[in-house]
Amino acid sequence: MSTLIKNGRIITAEQDYIADIYIEKDKVTLIGENLKNQADKVIDAKNKYVIPGGIDVHTHLDMPFGGTTSIDDFESGTKAAAFGGTTCLIDFAIQAKGTRIRDALDIWWEKAQGKATIDYGLHMIITDLPDAHMEDMSDMVNEGVTSFKLFMAYPDVLMVDDATIYKTMKHTSKTGALVCMHAENGSVIDLIVQKALAEGKTAPIYHALTRPTTAEGEAVNRSIALAEMAGAPVYIVHLSSNDALEKVAEARDRGLPVYAETCPQYLFLSLDDMGKDGFEDAKLVFTPPLREKWHQDKLWAGLQKNTLQIVSTDHCPFCYKEQKELGIDDFTKIPNGGPGIEHRLQLLFEGGVNEGRFSVNRWVELISTSPAKMFGLYPRKGTIAVGSDADIVIWDPEFEHTISVHSHHMRVDYSMFEGKKIKGNAETVLSRGEVIVENKKFLGKTGRGNFLKRDAYAGAWD
Amino acid sequence: MSTLIKNGRIITAEQDYIADIYIEKDKVTLIGENLKNQADKVIDAKNKYVIPGGIDVHTHLDMPFGGTTSIDDFESGTKAAAFGGTTCLIDFAIQAKGTRIRDALDIWWEKAQGKATIDYGLHMIITDLPDAHMEDMSDMVNEGVTSFKLFMAYPDVLMVDDATIYKTMKHTSKTGALVCMHAENGSVIDLIVQKALAEGKTAPIYHALTRPTTAEGEAVNRSIALAEMAGAPVYIVHLSSNDALEKVAEARDRGLPVYAETCPQYLFLSLDDMGKDGFEDAKLVFTPPLREKWHQDKLWAGLQKNTLQIVSTDHCPFCYKEQKELGIDDFTKIPNGGPGIEHRLQLLFEGGVNEGRFSVNRWVELISTSPAKMFGLYPRKGTIAVGSDADIVIWDPEFEHTISVHSHHMRVDYSMFEGKKIKGNAETVLSRGEVIVENKKFLGKTGRGNFLKRDAYAGAWD
Amino acid sequence: MSTLIKNGRIITAEQDYIADIYIEKDKVTLIGENLKNQADKVIDAKNKYVIPGGIDVHTHLDMPFGGTTSIDDFESGTKAAAFGGTTCLIDFAIQAKGTRIRDALDIWWEKAQGKATIDYGLHMIITDLPDAHMEDMSDMVNEGVTSFKLFMAYPDVLMVDDATIYKTMKHTSKTGALVCMHAENGSVIDLIVQKALAEGKTAPIYHALTRPTTAEGEAVNRSIALAEMAGAPVYIVHLSSNDALEKVAEARDRGLPVYAETCPQYLFLSLDDMGKDGFEDAKLVFTPPLREKWHQDKLWAGLQKNTLQIVSTDHCPFCYKEQKELGIDDFTKIPNGGPGIEHRLQLLFEGGVNEGRFSVNRWVELISTSPAKMFGLYPRKGTIAVGSDADIVIWDPEFEHTISVHSHHMRVDYSMFEGKKIKGNAETVLSRGEVIVENKKFLGKTGRGNFLKRDAYAGAWD
Amino acid sequence: MSTLIKNGRIITAEQDYIADIYIEKDKVTLIGENLKNQADKVIDAKNKYVIPGGIDVHTHLDMPFGGTTSIDDFESGTKAAAFGGTTCLIDFAIQAKGTRIRDALDIWWEKAQGKATIDYGLHMIITDLPDAHMEDMSDMVNEGVTSFKLFMAYPDVLMVDDATIYKTMKHTSKTGALVCMHAENGSVIDLIVQKALAEGKTAPIYHALTRPTTAEGEAVNRSIALAEMAGAPVYIVHLSSNDALEKVAEARDRGLPVYAETCPQYLFLSLDDMGKDGFEDAKLVFTPPLREKWHQDKLWAGLQKNTLQIVSTDHCPFCYKEQKELGIDDFTKIPNGGPGIEHRLQLLFEGGVNEGRFSVNRWVELISTSPAKMFGLYPRKGTIAVGSDADIVIWDPEFEHTISVHSHHMRVDYSMFEGKKIKGNAETVLSRGEVIVENKKFLGKTGRGNFLKRDAYAGAWD
């Protein structure tokens, strides 16, 4: 099988030039002017951008939460991702308390294999780390699971204490793995939540109002301090507020290996989008919650200045009906999460490139190159170069589109960005050389996605 | 009983002028030029400074710690304080875990009554705060115990968790009391300490080397965040490092009611003073420990800029013989603390005024006025004004003195500042109008000191 | 002549206590409880504050500007000041280009003598500094003119170049005098103004719109750099914007002797108060101009944190009729300046104390104590202490008042703060022991005010 | 003519992969795995890095200064550059005061044509800008001279005033050209220099001691403020101190288009290298001068964090004999400048990559990609991509070398970095597909270099 992409404007995190790309089997083997090579398939990319496929490093497919399960599994979730130009994702396996982390890996492989339509990796969530199991972390790294997520929130469920965090980081400082941190002070939030419930404040908006940005900033600062003492890098997930951003910026100014991602919901939505009558707000219940609108500008600036290196989705979809409704009488019962896997590239292109905040190169860097470099997938993924996997998106910068539940491919019964107008779309999508999206159709086979053994975090890659 | 102080240069936190002071019984009743009033005693203060007596808001007299007890009790400790120009102190009562805080107050009253030779107040250390006992905190405020100390260090002994801190602060936000925080991340320090011991690092210097400044900075930041969320002020005790200082400065720049003290040992001593052969370093084992020398300049700058408002001593004396020696084979067994109650005014006068870092007014502010204002004793204490308690020091700015165990009045068998040369001394000391130190003799009666019912923290006093 | 002030609540920059004050001739000679002294006059100050008289360090009385003269002379101006509780001011003598600064001093003495009703000092504005005249600066210091103002704005009229600024500062670094800086980049502003006029933008609001805050921030930074290189302190006058404030804060954080004042107009008015039809905006044409409203909060915060040490008025009154109207067709012809000398204490009391931004002590510090200390008048002025001049204001904190042209005592035909409601008023005003304002009447004799020989800036007074 | 580079590790600002490069005539036309194409020349780059040729955006070849002329002309200078792996440079044409800038361009073309051995562009130095000549700036942009340099130093020679700077920037804000700024406060420096000379301080080291870092920081801040008001970007040349760096960082944090370069001499040399006996220090007389050593770490950190985007050389060589000696009795007569064009890539590779400060990608970015993007040469230069000029360096990362006057190719009779040991060298150098350096021989023809018409600065490229 061979493919020739003709006349496209090739855009990577650095480059911007017009050339032809020849793909043999699953890899790019040739880039040149007016290639004459025979190919099984020829794609004309004239006036289109040719970019490396998007990489979403934060998704929760088929994840049990509060008595229900996130509605997209590895099949529907990866298909929706592909429609949006994402050709690789990293999901989270979750250690059940009292079990070994190895078991969690097996469970998540089970969920993914035979279903995933694009390549995927796994992070491991650690909820419990008896000294006797410390060695299991090394095994994970050998299996290509080179990042561990810890929670400073959700006491009694997922939260680990400072000693556990420090021990984990001390371990990763030796293996080269990376700790991903959910940074919110769960102890305080719990007290605030209990007080709200006691006062009869049960509506969905109280989910947002009981999680102050100060609690996020505090936890980010603490996780950085723990990482500094352990001599390890740390990666803050779903950073949502300026409080948190300032802590990351300050650490980076001191030269520490501190990194962070944000998500489209924090860039495009705010508390102004909540406050609706009835239970509608439940659609926007995820953690961290939406913030006051002014935080958005700060987050965009963080993307511009590389204080934030990555945009992921934290895709964790629950239907409004039956799932979100579990919390109709009590916001703490609403499954936390929102659907976003499909529109990350579009939203960032609109808000970043079309609105003049950053270059098209920076866009590629945020949605593909940095994710690949941070999580041990580069240069296999994340760029267009000879020898790299042919995970390639033909992007039509002129295509106009309105985001809607009626047209999206996620299984969820609403859209967080309903009605948002976008210019720019993933027209054709290749995964390892195979066209999987074309003419708005999904052409890939279910289960064709491979598990990716990732390298360890490579040290100061930036 | 009446006293007339003639011709002195009266110096307060703001003023600097020459006048006579007339004291009737225990209070200043008249300030004027060339007063002709008859007085039982006349003191000529020509060419001397006349300042409000020093207030030391951080002492540990007669305190049990690690199987022994701090060697100065309320008698010897207050006498040594008086010799140094300190006429008021605030000590710490300690709640024993599982008991009510009221009990601790009774125990400490017992320790102090009949012994204290100067006036004293008490802070309350909370180690345990079941919801059922929350109300006891209000009782304390009514008793004039308007400040509560919490520990973020010493797990299993004194450390409380974030939820307890938040609940305490939430309570003080209503009563107007002030939380005093020992800010170090005890969980991480414990792991570092265990590792050091496991590696056979048992010498006293490892006490210092196992308590990184990052652990202090982190805890300061966390305590500020908790205070901000609770809507309460917070006062950081014995701040020792630039890491911590920057967090306080940042909070104050944002206008938060965040305050901090440092102590002479952090201003004059550093790791350079450790590293001696044998067990000598044990004399400098206290918590937080000594830091690298460059932190000193930052702390002095913090005093200049009012990032730090107060200098206290954290006086907690243990003899080298028999007490410090408890840890001869294991630094974790060394009783933590050092003697300092006697030389605070001298050291600050030398390093601050004589060395040109700040004015004599700022010196008075740091050692008397701010302590009084912060802890609800002003204007009764902390200034020289009509109506105030006649706690007055006649300070000879020219007197030269060398600090030494051989001349000090503390009970401890060594001096942290042995050999340090000083210009400036408390020549005559009055407590409530009574001359208690004169001609290098202590004239006051044992037990003459009164317990001070303090007002609640008054809000933004600065 | 003797006066006894009974029962007042005496408030200084530090203190707050109730006592009686006895004044003999022009000085405070006694402060005490229930003084029984005979006095020629007894004032009952029960329930009133007794504060040191206000000191306004920035006024322009009887000043020629753009073909007219500021409408208050030393008689009307000092009377208005006194009604507002200001008992001392420092005005500016202006060197005419090509003349010696000594001549300017003589001219301003002429203006003031026989007219001033309160004590006054003079700063010297230098417009021209040939090397041959450098020594004249030393003479000024000996005359008690210990501060020199330079302009970085108004090219060809008042502006001096960087070399002149540096030379002046180098000189003051030896004499201990203080350079006061009007900091705006006049060269750039002139180009922006020319462009506006060329585009037909002649209305008064263009005065404000052609003077960007960046031009102020730049000049503040430059003046600080020049001062740092010269080893001299610098005092920024009428600081109006956050851009400028940040530069001062940054310098102070580095420990430099950099100081700044702001004025009530920048704290209470903004561009939102401009944009009126017709020529009304001319009433608010002064330099620096009004800024966007958000700067106000920053300036208030600067007062709270002591980034700003003083509030002066920059009182420079021109009537709307005939004076302001000179610029009816061209905003550059409008005489720059606004009237404010009368309401400084009231406005700061309202915005600072009544609105909870700072304590009554800080209020006294900003309007009296710091001005006295900064400009070599302390402790003669700026405090209430035995031996100080009896410049004292009996302040009624409960008096309610509406600022209006109809009730003010300045000669100008409008008020910048028309309609502003205030609580707090100078009920009785003493200057050197003499009651000059009582029962809303001015009782002092014209010309009774003395020229004040000021000490040189005392070095790091704070 | 065609060339095939086999097996090299291709490194760009983003990428790092192994592939073959095929060059037809002057351009890269094909990149692929195991290319079988016939080629006139085949280069085996196994185990070598293949990088885009270096671009030095700051050189002064054949430049008159203080009665002499920089000793490298466009022939010797470009050859030395090529030996060091630099295949493109941008030199400065200088407007003589009172003439039109067009004339300067003709003079510099004359200097370069027939001599340059690599491609070159020109910046234009403006010394004089009467309104009548403003339009000439637009002509320059059309000629491909899209950057203008201004001096804030050297009064009466090159220095322009703030009004001229603002007018120039206002103009570039329309044409898209970029102002390059020599930022030092020349007025103050001149006074300090005069004082030093008057005190008999004539030795070379006084060149450094009379140019405080504060004067650089001030000018950087001022140039940024002027740029901000003009709505134009600004590029600070040869940034040498932390004072200046902080101003750039602060502006970039606010999102302003502010950029800066530093040079190897500021990264590797300091005042510690001066202070030699006799006249030796003259070899290190350039402007800005060397700074205290601690600034080096700050500059390296600036390169890491992208506060600094480019490293250039400011190559301006004068022989020690006869040229530097002009100032033997008076440091102000020493021609300012040092030789550096040949060792930029080596030094940055050593200090950056070998010493672990940044990645090999960042190294390429600093010495080639960012220069090309900033100055309108990208993607023609600055990357390795299909369609780009084949300016390519085969870099041997293992080659060990000691910098010395005895082996360098510059005409100057000393080396600033004499004895410095380096690992890494430009083994083979191609300019537009032609091998110009191979086996330590220069193979290119004199005069083969082309003048480059550069695009205007493209807006926010980063």
Read off the pLDDT of residues A401-431 as tens digits, 9 standing for 90 and up.
Answer: 999 999 999 999 999 999 999 999 999 999 9
Task: Report yes or no: D277 at the A interface, CB cutoff 8 Å.
Answer: no
Q: Mind giving me the DSSP string for D31-54? A: EESS-----SEEEE-TTSEEEEPE
Going from the C-alpha of A381 to that of each of A51, C350, D360, the distances in angstroms are 11, 64, 19
Query: Nearest-CA residue of chain B relative to A219?
Result: B222
Task: Report yes or no: B39 at the C interface, CB cutoff 8 Å.
Answer: no
Q: Is residue C459 scored above 80 in pLDDT?
A: no
- The average pLDDT across C216-231 equals 98
pLDDT in tens, B383-424: 999 999 999 999 999 999 999 999 999 999 999 999 999 999
- The average pLDDT across B87-100 equals 96
**Do B364 and B402 sit in the same domain of this protein?**
no
From D374, D402, D434, the end of a domain falls on: D374
pLDDT in tens, A11-47: 999 999 999 999 999 999 999 999 998 999 999 999 9
pLDDT in tens, B259-314: 999 999 999 999 999 999 899 999 999 999 999 999 999 999 999 999 999 999 99
CATH number, domain of C86, equals 3.20.20.140
Q: Is residue B462 scored above 60 in pLDDT?
A: no
d(CA B180, CA B189): 20
Instruction: For chain B, list the contacting chains (3+ Cβ pairs, <8 Å).
Output: A, C
d(CA A421, CA B249): 44
Query: Nearest-CA residue of chain D relative to C217?
Result: D225
Q: Please list, in sequence order, all residues whose beta carbon lies within 8 angstroms of the beta carbon of residue A180, skipping any fewer than 6 positions away.
A: A123, A147, A148, A149, A150, A235, A236, A237
d(CA C33, CA C18): 8
- Give the confidence band of C334 by pLDDT, cuts at 50, 70, 90: very high
- Give the confidence band of C458 by pLDDT, cuts at 50, 70, 90: low
pLDDT in tens, A341-376: 999 999 999 999 999 999 999 999 999 999 999 999
**Residue A380 counted as domain residue:** no
**Residue B266 counted as domain residue:** yes
CATH number, domain of B389, equals 2.30.40.10
From C374, C402, C425, the end of a domain falls on: C374
Average pLDDT score, chain C: 96
ipTM: 0.95
Would you state the pLDDT for residue C462?
52
Proportion of chain C above pLDDT 90, given as a percent: 96
Question: Domain span at residue D429?
Answer: 2-51+385-442
pLDDT in tens, A286-334: 999 999 999 999 999 999 999 999 999 999 999 999 999 999 999 999 9
- Which residue in the set C19, C29, C252 is minimally distant from B387, CB to CB? C19
List phi, psi (to 5°) of D226: -65, -40
d(CA B350, CA B359): 11
Would you state the pLDDT for residue A457?
80
Query: One digit per residue, pLDDT tens: chain D, 462 residues?
Result: 899 999 999 999 999 999 999 999 999 999 999 999 899 999 999 999 999 999 999 999 999 998 899 999 999 999 999 999 999 999 999 999 999 999 999 999 999 999 999 999 999 999 999 988 889 999 999 999 999 999 999 999 999 999 999 999 999 999 999 999 999 999 999 999 999 999 999 999 999 999 999 999 999 999 999 999 999 999 999 999 999 999 999 999 999 999 999 999 999 999 999 999 899 999 999 999 999 999 999 999 999 999 999 999 999 999 999 999 999 999 999 999 999 999 999 999 999 999 999 999 999 999 999 999 999 999 999 999 999 999 999 999 999 999 999 999 999 999 999 999 999 999 999 999 999 999 999 999 999 999 999 999 866 455
**Do B45 and B67 sit in the same domain of this protein?**
no
Task: Report yes or no: A218 at the B interface, CB cutoff 8 Å.
Answer: yes
From A339, A374, A409, the end of a domain falls on: A374
CA distance A247 to chain B (A): 11
Going from the C-alpha of C58 to that of each of C237, C260, C263, the distances in angstroms are 8, 12, 9
* Cis status, amide bond into B379, omega within 30 of 0: yes
Q: D248 exposed, middle or buried (CB, 10 Å; 0-12, 13-18, 19+)?
A: buried
pLDDT in tens, B307-353: 999 999 999 999 999 999 999 999 999 999 999 999 999 999 999 99
**Residue C453 counted as domain residue:** no
Task: Report yes or no: B190 at the A interface, CB cutoff 8 Å.
Answer: yes
**Do B370 and B427 sit in the same domain of this protein?**
no
pLDDT in tens, B175-207: 999 999 999 999 999 999 999 999 999 999 999
- The average pLDDT across C442-455 equals 98
Would you state the pLDDT for residue C38?
92
**Residue C447 counted as domain residue:** no
- Which residue in the set A192, A214, A225 is minimally distant from B225, CB to CB? A214
d(CA D221, CA D243): 10
Would you state the pLDDT for residue B66?
85
**Residue D411 counted as domain residue:** yes
Partners of residue C383 in chain B, C-beta under 8 Å: 14-15
Beta strand segments in D344-391, E: none
DSSP tag of D338: B
Would you state the pLDDT for residue C392?
98
Cβ–Cβ below 8 Å for B30 and C33: yes
Q: Are strands C147-151 and C119-125 parallel, antiparallel or unpaired?
A: parallel
**Residue D452 counted as domain residue:** no
**Do B216 and B101 sit in the same domain of this protein?**
yes
**Residue B98 counted as domain residue:** yes
Task: Report yes or no: D209 at the C interface, CB cutoff 8 Å.
Answer: no
**Do B335 and B424 sit in the same domain of this protein?**
no
Two tokens, residue C447: 């010309």
Q: What is the dihedral of CA B402, B408, B412, B415, to 10 degrees?
A: -10
Average pLDDT score, chain D: 96
**Do A189 and A265 sit in the same domain of this protein?**
yes
**Residue B459 counted as domain residue:** no
Two tokens, residue D206: 């006084």
**Do B156 and B83 sit in the same domain of this protein?**
yes
Q: How many domains does chain A have?
A: 2
**Do D352 and D366 sit in the same domain of this protein?**
yes
pLDDT in tens, C274-321: 999 899 999 999 999 999 999 999 999 999 999 999 999 999 999 999
Tell which of D31, D256, D389 to mutate to test the A interface (max A CBs under 10 Å): D31
pLDDT in tens, C69-125: 999 999 999 999 999 999 999 999 999 999 999 999 999 999 999 999 999 999 999
- The average pLDDT across C437-445 equals 97
Would you state the pLDDT for residue D373?
96
Q: B132 exposed, middle or buried (CB, 10 Å; 0-12, 13-18, 19+)?
A: exposed
Two tokens, residue C21: 């004050």
Task: Report yes or no: C386 at the D interface, CB cutoff 8 Å.
Answer: no
d(CA B89, CA B116): 10
C338 within 8 A of C416, measured Cβ to Cβ: yes
**Beta-carbon neighbour count of residue B346 at 10 Å?**
23
Partners of residue B190 in chain A, C-beta under 8 Å: 163
**Do B25 and B81 sit in the same domain of this protein?**
no
Would you state the pLDDT for residue C460?
45
Rounded to two decimals, what is the model's pTM?
Answer: 0.96
**Do A64 and A41 sit in the same domain of this protein?**
no
**Do A152 and A206 sit in the same domain of this protein?**
yes
**Do A337 and A392 sit in the same domain of this protein?**
no
d(CA D457, CA D121): 14
Query: Nearest-CA residue of chain A relative to B152?
Result: A162
Task: Report yes or no: A355 at the D interface, CB cutoff 8 Å.
Answer: no
Query: Nearest-CA residue of chain A relative to B223?
Result: A218
- Give the confidence band of B458 by pLDDT, cuts at 50, 70, 90: low
Would you state the pLDDT for residue A460?
45
Cβ–Cβ below 8 Å for D31 and A32: yes
Cβ–Cβ below 8 Å for C19 and B385: yes
A62 within 8 A of A73, measured Cβ to Cβ: yes
